[in-house]
Amino acid sequence: MSSPRIVFDGAQSIVDLTHVLTPQFPLWPGSCPFEMRAVASITTGSAFYLNELRMEEHSGTHVDAPAHAAADGITVEQIPVADLIAPIAVVDISTRATSDNDALLTRADILDWESRHGHLPERCIVAMNSGWDARVATPGAFSNQDALGVQRTPGFDPEAVDFLVHERNIVAIGSDTLSIDAGRSVTYGAHLNALGAGKYGVEALANLSRIPASGATVMVGAPTHAGGSGGPARVLALF
């Protein structure tokens, strides 16, 4: 592997882009619940406190490996480590998403970002900030299902992902919602275009408003269980 040049010179701030995972954390409708069961406890006489965990891979702030949406895609432990440390470009569509729950991050939004911050950095992660992370503690507001059960949440326009994959150099795309696709999508074009091209996804990111649109670097602590389609990840931003 040729190593990328990593420069965090003078970075002063660390922002946690990871939500705390609880049994109440909103999940994709129909998912197996997150459960934590005490195996031993100091208060009842054991030397140690520890738990057994049970969860679906795509719980809390998490990674989608290419294999999640592409039959020939790599699984989560195969994502190259060099792709887990990357500059992050935050594209803010939160104003539009306030009035339109189905707002899409478009190619025009990316070009607008570039007009203000310059060309997207090489091997970057492009993250959608829809402001959705503020809804995480309000029951129902994060998955935001309508009367028919359809999730009305922002996401990437598949055409914008196609642009990022073919005309820019990215390692991943990320969102502050449950999905990189808009919730009402039934064709999952953002997933297919990103994961199908070997890029990974990061979903349910927190605190994207607390990092600069340009100039931060993230470490994506993807899990390493063999053959996994993704899983909870600790994501830290430095700038």
5-37 burial code (b ≥16 CB/10 A, e <16): eeeeeeeeeebebbbebeeebbbeeeeeebeee
> Min. distance of Cβ 127 from a copy of itself in angstroms?
17
Q: How far apart are CA 192 and CA 155, in angstroms?
A: 13
Between 110 and 155, whose beta carbon lies closer to a copy of itself? 155
> Min. distance of Cβ 36 from a copy of itself in angstroms?
6
Element (H, E) at 126: strand 124-129
Q: Phi and psi at residue 191, in whole multiples of 5°? A: -60, -50
Between 33 and 108, whose beta carbon lies closer to a copy of itself? 33
Give whole-number Cα distances, 178 to 8, 23, 50, 183, in Å: 29, 16, 29, 8
Between 35 and 167, whose beta carbon lies closer to a copy of itself? 35
Length of the chain: 239
**Burial (0-12, 13-18, 19+ Cβ within 10 Å), 185:** buried
Between 84 and 91, whose beta carbon lies closer to a copy of itself? 84
> Min. distance of Cβ 151 from a copy of itself in angstroms?
15
> Min. distance of Cβ 114 from a copy of itself in angstroms?
26
The amino acid present at 163, given as its one-letter code, is F
> Min. distance of Cβ 98 from a copy of itself in angstroms?
27
**Burial (0-12, 13-18, 19+ Cβ within 10 Å), 77:** middle
> Min. distance of Cβ 25 from a copy of itself in angstroms?
9
Interface residues with a copy of itself (CB under 8 A) are 3, 5-16, 18-22, 32, 34, 36, 39, 42-43, 47-58, 60-61, 67-71, 77, 81-82, 84-85, 188, 191, 219-234, 236, 238
Between 118 and 225, whose beta carbon lies closer to a copy of itself? 225
Between 76 and 91, whose beta carbon lies closer to a copy of itself? 76
Q: Phi and psi at residue 204, in whole multiples of 5°? A: 60, 45
